[in-house]
Chain A
Amino acid sequence: MNKLFPTQEVGSLAKPIWRIQSYTGKSLSRDEINEAVHWGRTLRIENLDELVKLLSERDFAGKRRALLEWSAKYAIRFFETAGLDIFFDGEQWRSEMYEHVVRKTAGFKFLGYVKSFDYRYFNKAACIDKPKYTKPFYLDEFLFTKENTKGKMKVPITGAYTLVDWTFNEYYEKRLSGEIIDFKTRKFKAKEEFLFDLIKEVIRREISKLVDAGAKWIQIDEPAATTNPTEEEMKLFVECFNETVKGFNCIFSLHNCYSNYEILAKHACELRNCSQLSLEFANRDSRQAGTGNERTGYNAIGSFEEHSFQGNYGLGVVDVHTDFVEPPELVRDRILHVARTIGDPSRICVSPDCGLRTRTWETSFRKLKNMVLGAELARKAAA
């Protein structure tokens, strides 16, 4: 794309209320149906009557699938209407980034809820056998999205390192328990084996299907990348990325957020075929406009540059954890500040910090529209 400061989204978008309610088999309230109609009109969705009819119907086989496709269509149109240059489908086909993959892969078993923080928990699985690919888990949504947009697509997928880090490793630890006495060495070796088996047996197979179906750009989501900031673990993370993308005729990028960027920066240039680092910065930044010392949130860019990262930045200029709608001028200044810091505006792709699933559609829409306006202001200023 030759346009300066292209805009993109990072992945998830909230599931519409009419879909969530209908999924549970509940009949919808007038307000909920109105919500579907309101967004349908805003997004100029064709054949809206069909959706309204579907929403009023009783449960039947195939209703969920139909709802899913409607919500994916809405999400695609949502990003298009907001004016983004690069997008996908708001991950409407996925329950959640971890469960979606684990449920569709053999060798895993969910053990139940463990603590995340406060009264929040997550359903954690154990690997109980060698992971085995049973069926595609991203292909259908890719084909659907491809069919429903002419825009440039970026397919977000969950990285193997994160899947492994969030899973109990029973199978490999057990296998090595007779072999390696030292617990620390055993655990690391078990993690390594799990990781590379998962990449080979599952992740690469799926990527291969996506590439064959025409995917040109895959974004690997690795929120756990710097969870274990030791040299040994970071080396493992880099190997994991490189092994995942090896040999595919496709562009790859990495998304990582709410992490230790000092550590990631040290290793970013070792990532092969990583055309873009999509990172969260707005969350760390002040809300005051300006391109100087106000931009404390973007200090970490300096570390990536110092460590000679030469790829592009998916620059987080919109905070996804607050309802504050960034004014276009703030977005513009964040972009211009970084453009000056790195000295090459062509390396910036304008992004939210992360997926927008925790915000309402209303807020997400306003945020993205302002992001697009801000990028336009930055383009004018840079011209």
Chain B
Amino acid sequence: MEGLRKKMIGCYVTGAFPRPTELIRTTRAYERAGISKKRLEESFEKATESVINAQISAGLDYVTDGMLKWQDLLRPFTENLKGTTVGSLTRWFNNNTFYRKPIITNHIEREKDVVTNMICIEKLPKNLPWKAILPGPYTFVSLSENQYHKDKAELMFEFARVTNEEIRSLAEAGFSYIQLSEPALVCEPLAPKSRKDKLALVNDVLQIAVKGITTKTSLQTFFGDFSKILPEVLDFPVDHLGIDLYKTDFEKLKEYDFERGVALGLLDSRSSLVEKTSGLVPVAEEIIESIYPSNIDEIFICPNCDLDFLPWEKAEEKMKTLKSVTQSLKEEFS
């Protein structure tokens, strides 16, 4: 029995960090034309350092640059791909935050590296592995207005090819972990009739996105119930599957055996209540034991979605909880 319990436990974040207070102040001043672009840049750099340090202190297995500059998950692509323009403000799923809708007016193509240019690579620590986060093809297309392609599937395949090139450039720049964020897969209702076809399509699209990729990959879902895409999601061509535990039915989740790694969204980024380690560890244990009856596999503990729903101070506190929960679980499953 002892051997069965052995798991690889790690932790990381799954989205953007909140902008620290000082950076919020600078960005607001910049908007009111009170300060120069240079001052703004300096403020971003300083804040990025804080965010990276918070991740190092929390002992994360992969470090991101915190994505402080990302105005929304899609924006780097909306602004920089050929064939897209920036559309109107639209609600970001079930949140009181907004993104700008990509309008697709032509074939989409990369003119330069999008994400690699967005990340402050020079600030990332040399001695730790790096993680980058991109919107998944399904989510990007669901949230776009298609004015060009004959259907969404065609656009999805095109975006998957762009994604593949992006991942290759990130790998070359030194990233060893790529997360594709796919909230739309679980947040929007899937009609029972078309559900299977849709998930099969997403599988095909993802095959294109990760073709020939040697980094670790994950598909992170949030804002919705992961059990809605079970069991099909278990065949998706990624190393790890991310689950928002604050939106997922535990009992349904436990009905399945996972032969893939998971990223358990155990901390609630949409609540300012800082969880107690003792309240989270037993929940994680129970889920891990039930979805992995025999296989040894990789488990990451993470916030359920972007931490930028919280003020910076709360996000910092949550990082400390992330660290202590992961340590407890490591001991438990070693």
Contact = CB atoms under 8 A, between A and B. Distances in A.
Interface of A: 111-122, 124, 126, 165-166, 168-170, 173-174, 177, 181-184, 187, 224, 227-229, 258-259
A177 B66 CA distance: 30
A274 B68 CA distance: 43
B161 interface: no
Interface of B: 18-19, 21, 24, 27-28, 30-31, 71-72, 89, 91, 94-100, 225, 245-251, 268, 271-273, 276, 279, 283, 308-314
Nearest to B71: A118
A173 B245 CA distance: 15
Given A121-B24, A181-B250, A184-B247, 14 more contacts: A112-B311, A113-B311, A114-B309, A115-B18, A116-B97, A117-B98, A119-B27, A170-B272, A177-B276, A184-B249, A184-B250, A187-B268, A224-B96, A227-B91
Contacts of A177: 276, 279
Contacts of B312: 112
Contacts of A112: 21, 311-313
Nearest to B286: A181
B306 to A, nearest CB: 9
A227 B28 contact: no
A174 B18 CA distance: 23
A112 B315 CA distance: 12
Contacts of A118: 71
Instruction: Tell me what chain A mostly uses at the interface: helix, strand, loop, or mixed.
Output: mixed
Contacts of B91: 227, 258-259
A170 to B, nearest CB: 4
B246 A117 contact: no
Contact of A183 (B95, B268, B272, B310): B268
17 contacts: A111-B272, A112-B21, A112-B312, A112-B313, A117-B71, A117-B72, A117-B97, A118-B71, A120-B31, A126-B272, A174-B273, A177-B279, A182-B250, A182-B251, A183-B245, A187-B246, A227-B96
Contacts of B250: 181-184
Contacts of A259: 91
Nearest to B99: A117
**Interface-centre pick from A114, A126, A227, A258 (highest chain B CB count, 10 A):** A114
Contacts of B246: 183-184, 187
A114 B18 contact: yes
A114 B273 contact: no
A166 B96 contact: yes
A75 to B, nearest CB: 25
Given A168-B271, A168-B272, A229-B94, A115 B308 contact: yes
Contacts of A165: 96
Chain A to chain B: the 7 pairs with minimum beta-carbon distance, closest first:
A168-B272, A112-B311, A117-B98, A119-B27, A170-B273, A228-B94, A183-B246
B222 to A, nearest CB: 13
Contacts of A111: 272, 311, 313-314
A352 to B, nearest CB: 19
B283 A181 contact: yes
Contacts of B99: 117
A72 B172 CA distance: 62
Nearest to A125: B272
A84 B71 CA distance: 40
B31 A119 contact: yes
A107 B94 CA distance: 25
A169 B27 contact: no
**Interface-centre pick from A112, A119, A170, A177 (highest chain B CB count, 10 A):** A119
B71 A227 contact: no
Contacts of B19: 115
Contacts of A116: 96-98
B98 A173 contact: no
A119 B30 contact: yes
Nearest to A178: B279
**Interface-centre pick from B21, B94, B247, B268 (highest chain A CB count, 10 A):** B94
